Structure 1
Amino acid sequence: MRINLAVVLMFSSVMCMTYAKDLTTVINEVIADTDVNGDGIVSETEFNQELLSRWDTDVPSDNSVSKTDFVTQWTTRYGDNQADASAFFDKLDQFFLPVGELNDLDLFFHLATLDPDGDHQISTTDFANFIRQNHPCGSVGHLHC
């Protein structure tokens, strides 16, 4: 029996795509996990919990998470595409050293841009837009989104 390599590659790429959820589904699940009390507001604590503390599995905690740990856990929890989760991490981790480690300073910068009035609260709509702006599937023309 002879197998056409092009057919195998096409099938495998389709299979990979079926495991990844669309961005809207991922965002809805992230918000459901983040807005713990369901008030439509993401507090600073909830923001840091979702993007850092949840993924920081070091004991004792060092308030940072490696790219590998974040991507592995994020894709497992939300069914996101691994390459997209990796690119999302890179956008979150673009401001402070060390590279490849998301830390509270990275999140502090993002929180400051999301919360210009400094009341430590972000609407879930603004949080969803933040994810869209930083996730590769939020941009027009991404290959598989």
Structure 2
Amino acid sequence: MIAFLVLIGSVAVYGKHGHNHSCIHTNHDHLLSSQVVSNVIADIDKDGDGIVEPTEVQHFVAGYDLDKNGNITESEFTLQWHRHYLDVRDFVGYLFQNFDMNNDMRLTDSDLVAWSKNLDTDGNGEISIAEFRTYMMNLYTNCVTAHAN
């Protein structure tokens, strides 16, 4: 019974899918979470208009589909994010779990649609850089607070 409670507790704290990814941010270049998020924003908002457009997200995400089969596995995502932003792989697994909106262990267009709806907090049909930054900073910092106790 105790082992079961420990398992349930670890899934609740460390994420979906039964993986024990760490949600405590660590970066190999010692970049702060705000610096990584700024780098991600610069890579996504190519036209600099302050809006994260669906085509920009699709272009950004396409670089993660290494085998070009139309979906991104956790290993593909983790490898590419780690290479580019230098966040430790365990933390990147935590990010992947939060981007995988339907919990099927792959990122597809349906995840992007659901993700976009969640990020559009003002309901205007667009994701502003401010909305995107808030979402990403919450991912990077909220778990650390939860683990500080």
Q: TM-score w.r.t. structure 1 length?
A: 0.72
Larger Rg: 1
Distance (Å, rounded) in 1 between the aligned partners of 2:144 and 2:27:
18
Give the 5 Å matches for 1:66-85: 66-85=73-92
CA deviations 1:22-77 (Å, max 9, x no partner) are: 21111000000000011111111112332x2120122xx33211101101110110
- Paired position in structure 2 for 1:104: 109
SS for the counterpart of 1:141 is: helix
Size of the aligned set, in residue pairs, is 122
SS for the counterpart of 2:145 is: coil
**Equivalent pairs: percent with the same residue?**
26
Task: Report the Cα offset of residue 139 of structure 1.
Answer: 3.3
SS for the counterpart of 2:127 is: strand
- Paired position in structure 1 for 2:65: 56
Q: Any conservation in 1 of the 2:27–2:86 contact (CA below 8 Å)? A: no
Q: Any conservation in 2 of the 1:114–1:122 contact (CA below 8 Å)? A: yes
Unaligned ranges ≥5, structure 1: 1-15
Aligned-partner residue type, residue 45 of structure 2: D
Task: Report the Cα offset of residue 106 of structure 1.
Answer: 1.0
Residues 1:141 and 2:145 aligned together: yes
**Higher RCO (C-alpha under 8 Å, 6+ residues apart):** 2
Give the 5 Å matches for 1:19-38: 19-38=29-48
Aligned-partner residue type, residue 79 of structure 1: L
